[in-house]
């Protein structure tokens, strides 16, 4: 099988390196705006050179971003080429359209590397959903924020400094606000919920709060109480909707998630037969992510067809029934927060159980008065 490689950044270079010694899958042409120096493949800046090359069987899209990635993938599928992508933004946004297009053109679209980096999460979720009724997907799905939180819990480090290190290690997105403000993990949650429940959730319906505002003093308060803070994504199937949200969460030190180090992810599914099953591994970085891209290529080369689900029912997000107690640290004085404050944590409060929907509405008000406000849910 010969591939066209779109992008030669962190992941693209990783794919190229892993494929270099293989005979069965070879890189034919690389599309990249930079001069790549010595590479054992043709290089081009024109997507038409790949789309119109009859020798190219599959296209690997590892450029990231929505455009022109969407147009390139669309052109490749229409030209009858299989597509493998690691682009969660693309899959989250165009999950159904691209799958329909792949089907109409009799080719395969895979994106295992889009969630969990090197963890074979989506392929196992797909297999589980064939047999079991999956009720929940949740966990740590972003390597950059886990790397930052892990460092902030273990040593006294500056947020900006540790983010810079995560960028140098190739974990962070080109625009790291996608990581620290939670958009990357939200997209991974939406893709996972889609595969698990056969639904399409809308990005604007899934509330997100990231870790940009966490301070050393917050971490100290958590550690004094035996708690660890992680950025957690959660989607739970309800009767005719889905409770889905992303927020910093305080876990007991015994929880599996609390032990997740560095750029690792820990993602779990819950099903009626399997109970809870968790997947742990490197969630970001060149070779883990490239590994899953190559796994998809090998599957396609062996005749695996299709995407991960055939069902794309539109579903509403409903967070009115998901209740947590919340840690709230803000200099804003809101009577609505005073009304639910239950404990004083010396510079912060912990609330009575309130719904995720209510807390995220209050959070927007808090942020308007004090843009450094921080909240975290207390895990059950
Ligand atoms: N920026 C992402 C992360 C890369 O840190 O998890 C892997 O999707």
pLDDT for 157: 86
- The one-character DSSP state at 242 is E
Of 155, 192, 197, the closest CA to residue 283 belongs to 192
- φ, ψ dihedrals at 322, nearest 5°: -85, 110
pLDDT for 41: 96
- Catalytic site residue from 81, 88, 188, 230: 188
**Among 171, 175, 181, which residue has the most ligand 1 atoms within 8 Å of its CB, making it the best to mutate?**
171
> For residues 244 and 319, is the Cβ–Cβ distance under 8 A?
yes
* 127/169 Cα distance (integer angstroms): 32
Distance, CA 299 to ligand 1 centroid (Å)? Answer: 23
Distance, CA 115 to ligand 1 centroid (Å)? Answer: 8
Measured from the CB, is residue 117 less than 6 Å from ligand 1? yes
pLDDT for 147: 97
Distance, CA 266 to ligand 1 centroid (Å)? Answer: 13
CA-based torsion, 81, 82, 83, 84: positive or negative: negative
Structural tokens at position 178: 């996608």
Those residues whose C-beta lies under 8 Å from the C-beta of residue 248, and which sit 6 or more positions away, are: 209, 210, 211, 214, 229, 230, 231, 232, 374, 375, 376, 377
Structural tokens at position 284: 């970001």
Structural tokens at position 320: 């009115």
Measured from the CB, is residue 284 less than 6 Å from ligand 1? yes
Measured from the CB, is residue 172 less than 6 Å from ligand 1? yes
Q: Which residue reads 């329909």 in tokens? A: 100
**Among 112, 118, 142, which residue has the most ligand 1 atoms within 8 Å of its CB, making it the best to mutate?**
142
Q: Provide the pairing of β-strand 134-140 with 341-344.
A: unpaired
pLDDT for 167: 93
pLDDT tens-place values along the chain, 380 residues long: 999 999 999 999 999 999 999 999 999 999 998 888 889 999 999 999 999 999 999 999 999 999 999 999 999 999 999 999 999 999 999 989 999 999 999 999 999 999 999 999 999 999 999 999 999 999 999 999 999 999 999 988 889 999 999 999 999 988 899 999 999 999 999 999 999 999 999 999 999 999 999 999 999 999 999 999 999 999 999 999 999 999 999 999 999 999 999 999 999 999 999 999 999 999 999 999 999 999 999 999 999 887 788 888 889 999 999 999 999 999 999 999 999 999 999 999 999 999 999 999 999 999 999 999 999 999 98
> For residues 221 and 346, is the Cβ–Cβ distance under 8 A?
yes
Measured from the CB, is residue 113 less than 6 Å from ligand 1? no
Q: What is the pTM of this model?
A: 0.97
Distance, CA 187 to ligand 1 centroid (Å)? Answer: 11
> For residues 356 and 367, is the Cβ–Cβ distance under 8 A?
no
Neighbours of 365 (CB within 10 A): 14
Measured from the CB, is residue 143 less than 6 Å from ligand 1? yes
* Residue 377: cis peptide before it, omega within 30 degrees of 0: no
Neighbours of 351 (CB within 10 A): 22
* 362/262 Cα distance (integer angstroms): 32
* 249/376 Cα distance (integer angstroms): 5
| Nearest Cα residue to atom 7 of ligand 1 | 284
* 375/368 Cα distance (integer angstroms): 14
> For residues 195 and 356, is the Cβ–Cβ distance under 8 A?
no
Measured from the CB, is residue 173 less than 6 Å from ligand 1? yes
Measured from the CB, is residue 181 less than 6 Å from ligand 1? no
Distance, CA 106 to ligand 1 centroid (Å)? Answer: 31
Q: Is 136 a catalytic residue?
A: no
Q: Which residue reads 């404050």 in tokens? A: 341
CA dihedral 122, 123, 126, 132 (to 10 degrees): -100
Measured from the CB, is residue 271 less than 6 Å from ligand 1? no
* 189/234 Cα distance (integer angstroms): 7
- The per-residue b/e assignment along 2-35, b for 16 or more CB within 10 angstroms, e otherwise, is ebbbbbbebbbbbbbebbeeeeebebbbbbbeee
* 338/141 Cα distance (integer angstroms): 33
């Amino acid at each position: 099988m010969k591939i066209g490689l779109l992008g030669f950044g962190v992941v693209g270079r990783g794919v190229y390196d892993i494929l270099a010694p293989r005979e069965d899958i070879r890189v034919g042409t690389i599309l990249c705006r930079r001069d790549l120096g010595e590479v054992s493949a043709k290089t081009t800046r024109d997507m038409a050179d790949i789309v119109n090359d009859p020798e190219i069987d599959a296209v690997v899209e590892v450029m990231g971003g929505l455009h022109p990635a969407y147009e390139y993938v669309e052109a490749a599928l229409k030209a009858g080429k299989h597509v493998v992508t690691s682009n969660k933004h693309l899959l989250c946004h165009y999950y159904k359209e691209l799958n329909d297009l792949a089907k109409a053109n009799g080719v395969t679209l895979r994106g295992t590397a889009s969630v969990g980096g090197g963890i074979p999460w989506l392929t196992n979720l797909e297999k589980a959903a064939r047999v079991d009724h999956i009720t929940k997907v949740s966990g740590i799905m972003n390597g950059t924020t886990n790397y930052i939180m892990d460092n902030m819990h273990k040593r006294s480090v500056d947020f900006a400094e540790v983010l810079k290190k995560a960028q140098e290690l190739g974990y962070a997105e080109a625009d790291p606000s996608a990581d620290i403000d939670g958009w990357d993990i939200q997209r991974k949650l939406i893709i996972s919920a889609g595969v698990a429940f056969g639904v399409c959730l809308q990005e604007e319906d899934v509330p997100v709060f990231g870790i940009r505002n966490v301070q050393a003093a917050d971490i100290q308060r958590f550690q004094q109480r035996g708690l660890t803070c992680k950025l957690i994504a959660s989607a739970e199937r309800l009767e005719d909707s889905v409770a889905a949200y992303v927020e910093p969460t305080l876990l007991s030190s015994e929880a599996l998630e609390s032990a997740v180090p560095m750029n690792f992810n820990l993602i779990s599914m819950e099903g009626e037969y399997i109970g809870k099953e968790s997947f742990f591994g490197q969630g970001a970085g060149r070779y883990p992510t490239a590994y899953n891209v190559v796994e998809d290529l090998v599957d396609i080369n062996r005749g695996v067809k299709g995407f991960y689900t055939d069902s794309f029912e539109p579903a509403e997000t409903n967070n009115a029934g998901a209740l947590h107690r919340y840690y709230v640290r803000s200099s804003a004085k809101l009577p609505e927060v005073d009304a639910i404050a239950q404990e004083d944590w010396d510079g912060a409060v912990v609330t009575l159980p309130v719904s995720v929907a209510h807390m995220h509405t209050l959070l927007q008000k808090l942020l308007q008065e004090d843009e450094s406000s921080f909240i975290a849910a207390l895990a059950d």
